[in-house]
Amino acid sequence: MKQIDVVERLKTFMELDCSTPASFAKLAGVDASNFAKMLDGKQTITGQTLKKLSAAHSINFSWLQTGKGDMLTSSNGPTVNTGSGSTDKVETHDDIIAVYENLISELRADKARLLSQNEKLIQMLDNKK
């Protein structure tokens, strides 16, 4: 198990889970300061720590160690904030991709709407001059 690879997998999961390192560690009962050192490569991540993190976040322990297999052990894994005040559970990489594709579509629609509103405001201001 290469530490740098484990760290990258942990960072990937935290990004998908929208977790800060401190909240991620705290939920697993791992000292946040030590966890930060682990992520920086200044402290070794032990198997015991990986087991705690895996259990607390429903991460596949084998995936954490090797990168093989599914990221998650169950549907209790990471959620993705959809921006509408709710979250979507994600179970596979395809689920994650689908959620983010939907978010991108929504963001593009929001961008077009906002640009249109800005144009209208600019026209209104120009007409008042």
Per CATH, the homologous superfamily of domain 3-75 is lambda repressor-like DNA-binding domains (1.10.260.40)
**Rounded alpha-carbon distances, angstroms, from residue 69 to 65, 66, 123:** 10, 8, 55
The arithmetic mean of pLDDT across residues 40-61, rounded, is 92
The pTM is what?
0.56
Q: Flag whether pLDDT at 84 surpasses 60.
A: no
Report pLDDT digits (tens) over 58-83: 898 999 999 988 888 855 555 555 55
pLDDT of residue 121: 92
Q: Where are the domains positioned within the chain?
A: 3-75, 80-128
Q: Tell me the sheet residues that pair with 87.
A: 81
Asked which of 42-51, 70-79, 109-118 is least confident by mean pLDDT, the reply is 70-79
* pLDDT(49) > 60: yes
The predicted structure's pLDDT at residue 119: 92
DSSP 59: B
Cβ neighbors of 86 (< 8 A, separation 6 or more) are: none
pLDDT at 58: 87
Kindly report the average pLDDT of the chain as a whole number.
84
